[in-house]
Amino acid sequence: MRISGSQCLLTGATGGIGQAIARALKQHGAQLILTGRRTDVLEPLAAELGARTLAVDLGQPAEIDRLVREAGVVDILVANAALPASGRLDSFTMEEIDRALDVNLRAPIALAHALAPAMVGRRSGHLLFMSSLAGKAATPGTSLYNATKYGLRGFAAALRAELREYGVGVSAVFPGFIRDAGMFADSGAKLPAGVGTRSPEDVAKAVITAIERNRGEVDVAPVAMRVGAIFGGLAPEVAARVTRRVGGDDIARQIIAGQSDKR
């Protein structure tokens, strides 16, 4: 997919990772439509990048319909918006569960459902979904978040197979611990020595690579974490024991505490 000259819809543009993605897409020549709920962040970013803005709440189905109508032709979708959804399941209300599912999983699926037919008709386009290494390996205290990110991985993989013959690309990006911006950084959690991180700019580079090279999956994490995620998928019980021994439960508690007010 050629990014230059394309119309790109980016959700979750107001977060630090979303801003890095927006700037990378602009550097590669995209015409941007930026969405988010925080207009105080969205408008200055749009002014900097010469982008259109559409303030929407992706937890509201009617807002997604409005977004699709007002966006017009979209060549590339980058579905980046998500809620942390950290905490034990019994700590959530059903309203909070529904909102996490709506924003993290339903909204990307609904946007793909609305935008893919036109891409198929043009035999060109790309749909990119921001998952997480939490979509490959489960961790304590993130059952709801894991559910949405595992779901996105499965959806993207199957949709990629469905749209391949029509010239429409589908990708999923899987960040690990990202420093300086994003959910982990915002939580204030501290990692044990030796556990590496990546930057928002690394995530943005992965997005560009996935779109331009039509990569099905791109991980954004140190090698050890990528290997750990693979191992977690192959031997989840053993991987869970290893995670506990290296302090995974403590990290999870810190993240939960730092994100408890972001549901």
Q: Which residues are part of the catalytic machinery? A: 145
Residues 107/80, Cβ–Cβ less than 8 Å:
no
d(CA 160, CA 156): 6
Q: What share of the chain is helix, strand, coil (3-state, %, to 5)?
A: 55, 15, 30
Q: Report angle CA 8, 124, 131 to the nearest 5 degrees.
A: 55
Q: Report CA 157 to chain centroid distance, whole Å.
A: 15
Q: Got the DSSP string for 164-190? A: GGGTEEEEEEEE-SBSSSSHHHHHT--
CB atoms within 10 A of CB 249: 14
Two tokens at 239?
Answer: 């991987």
Sign of CA dihedral 249, 255, 259, 263: negative
d(CA 25, CA 43): 17
Which amino acid is it at 114? A
Residue 216, classified by CB atoms within 10 Å of its CB into exposed (0-12), middle (13-18) or buried (19+), is: middle
DSSP state of 56: -
